[in-house]
Structure 1
Amino acid sequence: MQNQEAIWLDANDRLGLFIDGPNFHGSSRDMGFDVDYQALLDFFRQRAKLTRAFYYTALDVSGEHTPLKPLVDWLSYNGYIVVTKPTKEFKNGNGNRRIKGNMDIELAIDMLNLAQYLDHAILFSGDGDFRRLVDAVQQRGVKVTVLASSDVTADELRRQADQFVELADFRPHIERFGEGARSRPGATDPQAT
């Protein structure tokens, strides 16, 4: 993290975490690591006053088993507020099946509703659609940090944020290593983006 933790986190900040599950997972997967979600919570709890930690994802409920179910269950029992909704299936003009499950509205509503209780919001997403949300939350006096991979972060989102933290720099704090990880043993984040 290049020893800049003191710059981007204040111990007195009331902090909210907003994790765009598919976006965050896709970035970590592209970088070749699994996220230790317990380590992620511990990192922020030790450095600020963590108010809420949200995790957003759509779930495919069409089959008997979804690979995300174990992760979602673990997160909800271990300090995260998990917000889900069922995916929807569409067929394009060629009859090809397409699955969709966007959680942007849910994340935006929660961040705006919680803004009055926060000093600092951390958005784990590089999605440019969140630029206007970041602006609206900043207008309410909340500092917003975007934590994502610069390779997939929209320029307009990065410019709007008060701070940008590169996922590659944050990786050492949250990377999961086998059975010795701080989170549930054998857990992976099987998100499909």
Structure 2
Amino acid sequence: MQQFSRRRVSIFVDGANMFYTQKKGLGWFFDPAKLLKVLRGDDELTDAYWYMGLKQPPDPRDENFVRFLSYAGYVVRTKGLKTIYDSETGETTQKANLDVEIVMDMFNTIENFDKAILLSGDGDFERALELLRSRGRQICVVSTQNWIAAELRQAIGSHFIDLQDLRAQIERSAPEPREHKALPEHPADPFRSGGFPAP
């Protein structure tokens, strides 16, 4: 009987982009552990990376979430949030751009995977995915129709998974009503301390 080898898959999660995709685009949040299980399917998961910005000093909820991601199987890349001032509106926002780190990890580990799955709707990744494909790698983008850049959506064609189609499998359960308590060092449920943390 002919034996078929499993594909080697690496997953790259743009945490900030996914936060806003869930909050504003979907209206519900996924469980990162469930997501990992669904996306790997029957393939061999070689790496899973999650990229996120952290407040300085770090918020305890963010630290809990980082621990949860680590125990769920993700390599977590973090960067301190920077405060950006808008001279026109007088408002400030906090942002940490990890696009460079994502692309660096993709190409530094390219020999380790046959397929790259990117969770982001950011059009800045269009060229990186085209280069991966030119190197013989399969690509897939996971986002939702209303929160993905047109140029990225056009570049990937049918290699797209809409989070809405996975909702029944990956949506996180609503936390039980309870008085706020600090999470244990090894959290079983990272969301009960206030929900999916902001980037």
Query: Common fold, TM-score beyond 0.5?
Result: yes
CA distance in 2, matches of 1:98, 1:29: 17
Alignment partner of 1:93 is 2:78: no
Alignment partner of 1:169 is 2:176: no
CA distance in 1, matches of 2:172, 2:87: 42
Please give the residue correspondences for 1:14-163 in structure 2 after superposition, counting only pairs within 5 Å: 14-30=8-24, 31-62=26-57, 65=59, 67-93=61-87, 95-161=90-156, 163=159
Give the superposition deviation at 1:25.
2.0
SS at match of 1:51: strand
Work out which of the two has the higher radius of gyration on C-alpha atoms and give 1 or 2: 2
1:48-88 Cα offsets, whole Å, 9 max, x none, are 100111000111114x6354221112112321000001011
* TM-aligned CA distance change 1:32 to 1:107, over 3 Å: same
CA distance in 2, matches of 1:126, 1:45: 20
CA distance in 1, matches of 2:30, 2:64: 14
CA distance in 2, matches of 1:98, 1:133: 27
* TM-aligned CA distance change 1:148 to 1:186, over 3 Å: same
SS at match of 1:34: coil
Q: What does residue 185 of structure 1 align with?
A: 189
Q: How many residue pairs get matched? A: 180
Q: Which runs of 5+ in 1 are unaligned?
A: 1-9
CA distance in 2, matches of 1:184, 1:38: 11
Q: Normalising to structure 1: TM-score of the pair?
A: 0.84
**8 Å contact kept, 1:54–1:83:** yes
Give the superposition deviation at 1:150.
0.9
Identity of aligned residues (%): 33
1:72-119 Cα offsets, whole Å, 9 max, x none, are 121123210000010112333365333221110000100111122211
CA distance in 2, matches of 1:56, 1:191: 12
Q: Normalising to structure 2: TM-score of the pair?
A: 0.81
CA distance in 2, matches of 1:186, 1:82: 15
**8 Å contact kept, 1:147–1:167:** yes
The residue type equivalent to 2:99 in the other structure is D
The residue type equivalent to 1:24 in the other structure is M
Give the superposition deviation at 1:122.
0.5
The residue type equivalent to 2:117 in the other structure is I
CA distance in 2, matches of 1:155, 1:11: 34
Q: What does residue 7 of structure 1 align with?
A: none
